[in-house]
Structure 1
């Protein structure tokens, strides 16, 4: 929504639509215990399996055909292709114009 009508295919937002794991505790992001890590991996897997939801400007939300995983996979592919294009591109020649010296 933040990018409005000028938004193109280079923006992907992944947001969980609820979880069967319930609410997380206060220290969920700092607790390194194996049980917490297992729970977080489970939440991430569940989120990636969910259908992608897109916000439509002035139209609410639309459930996509792809899962969040598929959407991220396509986006990663676009990033790799862009990086390859940039690495093959020859940088444009830049000329600097020297300012005329002032005579006193």
Structure 2
């Protein structure tokens, strides 16, 4: 639903490589590695179209590289915050017993 009719063409590398393009998982030829690096650089420079909930689509303000850089910074900050905590972050889930489940129904 988010991408509508063009669901298959919203994947950057899938559409850029095309048929007969280099395969990153099987072909380590120097020429193919160079092509993959060039394609990666091209994708990172792009500003893609973003879906806006109930608002259609709009062009992104940041390049893919800028988005990845921001995300990496957020991961580092989160790691630092978690490493400074005295107690680890734990989520407790309340167990339901069969008796309390029967009472609720």
Q: Name structure 1 gaps, 5 residues minimum.
A: 3-13, 95-104
Larger strand fraction of residues: 1
Q: Looking at both structures, which has the greater relative contact order when contacts are Cα pairs under 8 Å and sequence separation is at least 6?
A: 1
Describe the superposition over 1:1-45 as per-residue Cα deviations: whole angstroms up to 9, x where unpaired: 88xxxxxxxxxxx942854xx624266131000000000000000
Larger helix fraction of residues: 2
For the pair 1:61 / 2:57, whether they are aligned, the reply is yes
Q: How far off is 1:64 after superposition?
A: 1.3
TM-score for both structures, normalised by structure 1: 0.63
Q: Give every structure 1 segment of 4 or more consecutive aligned residues whose post-TM-superposition deviation is greater than 4 Å.
A: none
How many correspondences in the alignment?
Answer: 80
Three-state SS of the structure 2 residue aligned to 1:76 is helix
Alpha-carbon separation, structure 2, partners of 1:62 and 1:23: 25
For the pair 1:43 / 2:39, whether they are aligned, the reply is yes
Q: Name structure 2 gaps, 5 residues minimum.
A: 3-9, 91-105
TM-score for both structures, normalised by structure 2: 0.62
What is the RMSD computed on CA atoms of the aligned residues? 2.9
